[in-house]
Structure 1
Amino acid sequence: MQNISSTAEGFSLLWIIILILACLLILSLIIMIKQRVIIRKINPEQLKDIIRENELLNALINNMPDRIYIKDKDSRFLIANKHVAATMGVDDPSKLIGKTDFDFFDEAIAGNFYNDERSIVEQGISIINKEEKGFDVDGSERIVSTTKIPVFGKDNLIYGIVGIGRDITRLKENEHKLKEQADNLLKINRLLKERQKEIEQMAEEMRSQSEAIKQANIQLEKLSLVASKTHNIVIIMDSNGNFEWVNQGFTDLYGCTLEEFTRKHGENIRENSANSNISAILCQIYITREPFNYNTRNIDREGKEKWYQTNITPILDEDGYVDRLILIDTDITDLKMAENLIKAQKVELEINRDELRLLNATKDRLFSIIAHDLKNPFQSIIGFSELLRDNFEDIEKERIQEYIDLIHDASVNAHELLKNLLDWSLSQLNHITLNPEQLSIKSLITNTIELLKPIAISKEIKLIDKSGEKDFACADSNMINTVLQNIASNAIKFTNKGGAVTFETESRDELIKIKIIDTGIGMTREKINALFNLENITTTAGTYGETGTGLGLIVCKEFIEKNKGKLFISSQPGLGTTVTLHLPVS
């Protein structure tokens, strides 16, 4: 951003120098014409050429976007382009000649300009790219980069100044936005670093747990010779997997001796193992002559679930063949429970992460609406009301009515936006209490039609009620009222003059269907799919240019689902839209 700013400043300075040279050339031409006319040494053809050059240079400065002017040493305008004239409120730059800033601005602003110019005339020091308050053609305040330099004569005396003003309001706004974006990126980087540190800590903990398990296995192998004194289950088998000896831990687990166990379950591990792949495991041990580990779920004599890590180690004879098998079962129930707890916590963290992402999107959308959508109608209200307050006596009656209508429309938009924001925010915070009751759908539709009738009449749209007299639903009255009003308002908004919005109901078993059908402009399937995407809400202007927030349908869907219902939308471009609500009857 610093490089861009430096390049822009360099380009701006070069442009200013070119403009100043052009202005000085014009001034020189004017002086030269006067001198030559006075001393009568110029013929008509030379005069035409000079005038043509003067016209071309005037055209040049008039077609430049900057405000260019030349003043004498008393700050009276000698030359000005059309942009200067426009900001002064005159239609012709020639009307500025001989006048000063005091003729057009208040004393404070004009005084600042005059003091700067006096300093230039008295000290001969230029002012380069000074940022100061200026005005646009409509009188609105702007930020202007001003350059003023003294004009010296051949006698090295200052006879006036050349000034150039450039509107840099947009540039300053962009600089501010870039700074905000840079600050946001810094915040995101800090957050990423914090998250990275947490991930590294979790990885270190997992590595520690893995190392602990590895060390435990090593210890188990070393302690296999003292198996009779351990709480682990130790079984010694012959090379075929037949049980020969068990320790006290085995007896404690199963509540019986080895003989009692083999009579009931068989004496070979292939018969009594809880692992269905035990035969394949033994084959692998015979081939590799290496220990094998696996986990086994078992039930102790009290009926409690137990998890064991089983290690089968081959004991080889002098020829390297398997002579004995030693099986050690280590109770890892607590470890398994911890693993399950970690898995559950991981799932919970993922759910929380998704919820956090959604909450962030919700927050960002809320701030965006407050910063933009909510600000705009109030700016219109304030702007037009101030215009009426300050100029009421000078405004035509028809224009007053037009301003009042604009203030009214902005107020209605702001009210609708605030209502949707409030409903949606309360829903997000679960602060809305659900009070289901038996509702007459006919009455709710009648209330909605009466409420929206003035808007429909203004667009010559018919509101048609085809609902049944005996159709009822079990739902919250306030929520369903909000839903019907929102959907019907949307139907009117996107229906052309002379169209119709129809309300229909249909009862089936324990369900009632409410349909709001319009003959409006319709929409594509892609548009329907995007309506409920909170992370990328888009809005479309109505047939009369009506605006909205994009939150209305999201609020409707949440309210319907809170009442154990569903919302469906079907539409085709140019053929209208049908919104169907499903609500329980009881």
Structure 2
Amino acid sequence: MNSERETTGNKNSNEKTLNPGIGALENDPEKEQVQLKKTKNLLRLSEIKIQALTEAIPDLIFRINREGIYLDYKAASSDLYHQTDSIIGKNNREITPPDFADLIDAKVKLTLDTGEMQYFEYQLSIPNKGLCSYEARLVPNGPDEVLAIVRDVTSNKLTGEALIESNLNQRAIMDSISEGLLLIDKTGMIIDSNEANATFYGFSIDSIRGKNLFEFFPTSFKPEQEKLLNAVFEQGKVLTSESKFHNRWYEYSVHPVIDTTGIIKKAVINARDISHQKNLIHELETALKENRESTEFLENLINSIPDVIGIQDNKHQIIRYNKAGYEFLNTSPEQIRGKKCFHLIDRDQECELCATSISYKTKKPAHIERYFPEKDIWLDIRSYPIFENNGEIRLVIEHLRDITHIKSVEAALRKSEERYKELFNSSAGGILIGSQDGVIIQVNSTFAEMTGFTPGFLIGKHISEGIFTAESLKATPFRFDLLKQGKTVTSERTIITSDNRLMQVEMHTHILPDGTYQSIYHDITERKRAEEEINRQNEVLKKINLEKDKFFSIIAHDLRSPFTSFLGLTELMAEEIDSMPKEEVRFIANELKKSASNLYNLLENLLEWSMVQRNMKPFSPQKINLRSVARQSTETLREAATGKQITVTLDIPDEITVMADRPMLDTILRNLFSNAVKFTAKGGSVMISAGEEHNGDIEIMIEDSGIGIPETMLGTIFNISGKHNRPGTSGEPSNGLGLLLCKEFIEKNGGKIGVKSTAGKGSCFYFTLPAG
């Protein structure tokens, strides 16, 4: 490998320096105006994009400063404030109620002071709409203003309130019933209970939830338990039976509850104490069997029963009723002689379903529930056969109880449940209902559609299991502690849908009266994307503003200074050239040459930078011999190095080639070499070297023994917002534009740039390019 080291010492050079020519300064004002106009067009284009983006968002968006002045405003599809005129430039207090204005001012101040997003909910009375609910997010947008996004959530609030009201109605209906009501799952665990049932077992409603119903029964009831659960949950049957419990007789019915997917996961148990009726009927049976003829005994016995008690023979002929029966049928013993039971309700034939007939056929007690439209009444009818010694039925005792109120309650419960389901599944937001332990027990159709998960897949899972991303759960843990305090918890999370899409949702969770948790979900994926795009466009605007400021700064200061020097020298020559010695004229001519060269280099960088910002810079990468380009690119600048007695060393092997755009590579090497010479004192040194990296790229280094770079400047040296316009060691002007160009061009060519420097000891700028 031929690696020749080429060194230029501190001697006078006989080579001529390329004269850029004064012509490079012609028509500069026009170029400045063109560049200014294009910069303004870029700003306008970016503003149009942001406007189009915000118009696509259905929320109300506005910018407001710390003083409460609206700087910009985009109304939702229905203007939340119903302002016919633009509110831009107006104070918040001019258009909103005082209390609400105080709230906005406080939230704006808090957002700006903390630098964090503020979320809050509020209500406003809106003309023609009444009291409406809104949620707002305020995010910092610079040091003195915030960006606010406001959404109308009235419909969601109404849905949530209706669901809560529906739950409260169900609770009131359940607790108004004197009989026991239980809601159990397929294991027998008590999901809910009414007040009467909880009190019977010696618990409160909250404390009985979660206990297993069969814990209260003896172990001998185990076979009956399995039979009951199988019949209800597997076969979907309604069971009705009687059972003796703690020396009391209870009649119970078990009804399966079918969910929206057609699966039975819960059952309702209705139980009532029938000990009194049982005892009385037993005494009546005993009296009849013993053929007691004591009229007084029989009368007192059956008339003490509040329900209807009737005695019929095997031909349905009525023998008698108790006092309650005569009152209920509005008849008397004389009027019922020779009549059958169905005659008393104005029928001329036996009822289609008759408990007495069933008892005669089966020779067993029978039980039915029937509605009698003639009296608009529901009756619970039970028949008990009394046998002769030969085993034939002698009489049937019929027990009737008015259950119209219970049926009305059941109908109201069904209606309430239907209304709840309708509200539940028609909600615009996805809804999950969870147990006190966070296990999902109910899923509405909206959530299923949002996520693609079926209710059957979700029910039974813990809320933290397989629905949210791990990062989402870690960033925002579930706050069951706040929920138990009755607070509504709002959070933003990321859901993994059934087809592995990531969906960003807003989650509002609160506790329901029965102790379960209700979470309402809204898909905010598009809104978050829009917010991210707005933030990105804001960053673009900030960058454009910085570039514009940098451009104006260079025009106002860096371009003006060389012109001032240039004009001063030409004015001196014009006035005094006749009296000037030859040496002084030569000195002024050299100074003019320096000023013209500096102006040319500055204008060249400005034009290059302008073309890059407008994406107009041609890009044609090609295989280039690095040593040859480095020598040519720095040739015209070596005179400045010689003038400062700086030793320049070129240590690049001949065979190294790179794949790069030639004009861009010229600009990179010229600027980095110029900076090295500019910030190196007289008698110093500059070295340009290159070598191959492990990954095959070529690394180029420009090292100097100059004044170095302060640590405070290193972090922003390639950033347009940085202040890097310090003069060179001989007062050479500097504006920092060259380094910006170098970074842009190096990255365009697929490389990276970096710097290592120690103040007072020199710097090393290094960058990479793909090998050729």
Give the TM-score taking structure 1 as reference length: 0.52
Match of 2:661 among 472, 476, 481: 476
Give the aligned partner of residue 152 of structure 2.
Answer: 209
How far residue 488 of structure 1 moved from its aligned partner, in angstroms, is 0.8
Paired amino acid for 1:215: L
Query: CA offsets per residue over residues 293-336 of structure 1, 9 Å max, x none?
Result: 99996968999989898888456xxxxxx8xx8x9897x5xx41
Aligned residue number for residue 697 of structure 2: 511
Amino acid corresponding to residue 219 of structure 1 in structure 2: A
Q: Which residue does 2:558 correspond to in 1? A: 373
Which residue matches 1:459?
Answer: 644
What residue number does 1:501 align with? 686
1:114-513 → structure 2 map (5 Å cutoff): 193-195=69-71, 203=136, 208-222=151-165, 238-239=191-192, 245-247=257-259, 250-251=260-261, 257-259=262-264, 272-276=459-463, 313-314=512-513, 335-336=522-523, 339-509=524-694, 510-513=696-699
User: What's the offset of the Cα at 1:517?
Assistant: 1.8
Q: Give 1:521's aligned residue.
A: 707
Q: Verify the 8 A CA contact 1:289 1:314 in the aligned structure 2.
A: no
Counterpart residue number, 2:58: none
Matched residues in 2 for 1:352 and 1:305: separation?
A: 23
- Partner Cα separation in structure 1 for residue 629 and residue 263 of structure 2: 78
Instruction: Measure how far apart 1:429 and its partner are.
Output: 2.9
The runs of 5 or more residues in structure 2 that have no matched partner are 1-63, 75-87, 93-103, 105-134, 138-147, 171-182, 186-190, 193-208, 213-232, 234-255, 268-438, 442-457, 466-476
Displacement after TM superposition at 1:397 (Å): 2.7
Q: Name the count of aligned residue pairs.
A: 366
The secondary structure found in structure 1 opposite 2:152 is: helix
SS in 2 for 1:195: strand
User: 1:220 Cα shift?
Assistant: 3.4
**In structure 2, distance between residues paired with 1:303 and 1:491:** 52
* C-alpha spacing 1:296/1:533, structure 2 compared with 1 (3 Å): closer
Distance, in Å, in 2 between the alignment partners of 1:507 and 1:366 is 37
Provide the secondary structure at the position in 1 that maps to 2:547: helix
Give the gaps of 5 or more residues in structure 1.
1-187, 228-234, 252-256, 263-267, 316-321
What one-letter code is carried by the residue in structure 1 that aligns with 2:152?
A: Q
Distance 1:366 1:302 in 2: 48
Aligned letter for 2:743? K
How far the C-alpha of 1:284 sits from its partner, in A, is 8.8
Q: Secondary structure at the match of 2:645?
A: coil
Q: Which residue of 2 aligns with 1:578?
A: 764
Matched, 1:560 2:736: no
CA–CA separation in structure 2 for the residues paired with 1:260 and 1:302: 29
Q: Does structure 2 retain, via aligned residues, the 8 Å contact 1:293–1:311? A: no
Contact residue 467 and residue 504 of structure 1 kept, 8 A: yes
* Structure 1 match to 2:737: 551
Q: Deviations over 1:510-567 (max 9, x none)?
A: 2211111223233333343342342242322223221122211122122212222122
User: Aligned to 1:568, what secondary structure does the other structure show?
Assistant: strand
Q: SS at 2:71's partner residue?
A: helix
How far apart in 1 are the matches of 2:503 and 2:716? 49
The CA distance in 2 between the partners of 1:519 and 1:300, in whole Å, is 62
Partners of 2:483 and 2:646 lie apart in 1 by 87
On the 8 A contact 1:494/1:542 being kept in 2, the answer is yes
Q: 1:551 to 1:297 in 2, by over 3 A?
A: closer
Shift of residue 370, structure 1, vs aligned partner? 0.4
Does the CA-based 8 Å contact 2:649-2:686 persist in structure 1? yes
3-state SS of 1:585 partner: coil
Distance in 2 of aligned mates of 1:407 and 1:375: 15
In the TM superposition, what whole-angstrom CA distance separates every residue of 1:423-454 from its partner, at most 9, and x where no partner exists? 22222333323322222211111212423232
Matched residue of 2:708: which SS?
coil
Mark the CA change 1:404 to 1:212 in structure 2 (over 3 Å): closer, same or farther: farther
- How far residue 367 of structure 1 moved from its aligned partner, in angstroms, is 0.7
> Cα distance 1:352–1:298, how it changes in 2: closer, same or farther (>3 A)?
closer
Q: CA deviation at 1:486?
A: 0.7
Matched AA of 1:549: N
| Structure 1 residue 190: Cα displacement | 12
| In 1, Cα distance between equivalents of 2:719 and 2:653 | 34
SS in structure 2 at match of 1:496: coil
SS in 2 for 1:361: helix
Q: How much has 1:467 moved relative to structure 2?
A: 0.5
Task: Check 1:304–1:226 CA distance in 2 against 1; reply closer, same or farther (3 A cut).
Answer: farther
| 1:398 alignment partner, SS class | helix
- Aligned amino acid, residue 752 of structure 2: K
- The question of whether the paired residues in 2 share the 8 Å contact of 1:296 and 1:309 is answered with no
- 2:360 maps to none
| Rounded Cα–Cα distance in structure 2 between residues aligned with 1:422 and 1:191 | 42
Cα-Cα RMSD: 4.8
When normalised by structure 2's length, the TM-score is 0.40
Code of the residue aligned with 2:547 in structure 1: it is: T
- The verdict on how the C-alpha distance between 1:445 and 1:340 changes in structure 2, with shifts beyond 3 A counting, is same
SS in 1 for 2:589: helix
Q: Which amino acid aligns with 1:209?
A: D
Q: How far apart in 2 are the matches of 1:296 and 1:455?
A: 61
Higher helix share: 1
Secondary structure, aligned partner of 1:546: coil
Native 8 Å contact 1:516 1:580 kept in 2? yes
Q: Secondary structure at the match of 1:501?
A: strand
Conserved in 1, the CA contact under 8 Å of 2:184 and 2:266? Answer: no
> Is contact 2:489–2:508 with CA below 8 Å preserved after alignment?
no
* TM-aligned CA distance change 1:469 to 1:293, over 3 Å: closer
Instruction: Give distance in 2, aligned partners of 1:489 and 1:276.
Output: 64
Q: Deviation string for 1:265-285 (max 9, x for gaps)?
A: xxx95793344369x99x999
CA distance in 2, matches of 1:286, 1:544: 71
